[in-house]
Amino acid sequence: MKMSTAELWFGDSSEDESLVELARNRKRLRDASNPLEIDSTAFIKNFRVSKEAFVDVLTTTEDLLNQCTRAKSIPHVLKLATVLRFCAQGSYQLSIGNENILGPAQPTVSVVLSEVLDVLESFICQRWIKFNYTEAELQQAKSHFYNKSRIPGIIGCVDGTHIKIVAPRKELQHLYYNRKGFFSMLWLSVIIQ
């Protein structure tokens, strides 16, 4: 049987309708979401900060987030929660996309990440991240890191990442099993003076 162009177009309309319905469901979920309503233990597990710290960052950045033109329909609380959840897990699919707490689609997450990270970098980082060591504290930090790593000049750690490894001998496995559920070695980004 030969299909006409009109039949083909009408045949695809149900797929378009399902995409529209998916977008509506995501918006309903987003509008009904309030991550501050989950219990404190689950909140810390999901966002890696306490509710108090979250609210402090939210109130501190709210005016700056109001100036942003992208993703205006998303409440600031969900924007910040999305960014913190993404940073805590390092993945959209493993965290944000597979849960019922936040619910934004991947393109929305990309826009929100860009917007909120810009605000955090321009304001929060400059305000709160400082290395105001006295000379004695500087020497103590260098000594501490040298004793741990045998690398001279390290005064602090900024970030780390887990590098997957093959499971070590049975008696050492507890030392290498991380909170993400696999064996790894932690590699740190350090500040050297």
The whole model's pTM is what?
0.59
Higher-pLDDT residue of 103 and 129 is 129
Is 112 in the same domain as 149?
no
Selected residue with higher pLDDT from 26 and 64: 64
Check whether residue 115 and residue 166 sit in a common domain: no
Judgement on whether residues 116 and 147 belong to the same structural domain of the protein? no
Where among 75, 99, 128 does a domain terminate?
128
Tell me how far apart the alpha carbons of residues 168 and 184 are, in angstroms, rounded to a whole number: 10
Residues 81, 47 contacting (CB under 8 angstroms):
yes
Q: What is the number of domains present in the chain?
A: 2
> Quick one: average pLDDT of 73-83?
86
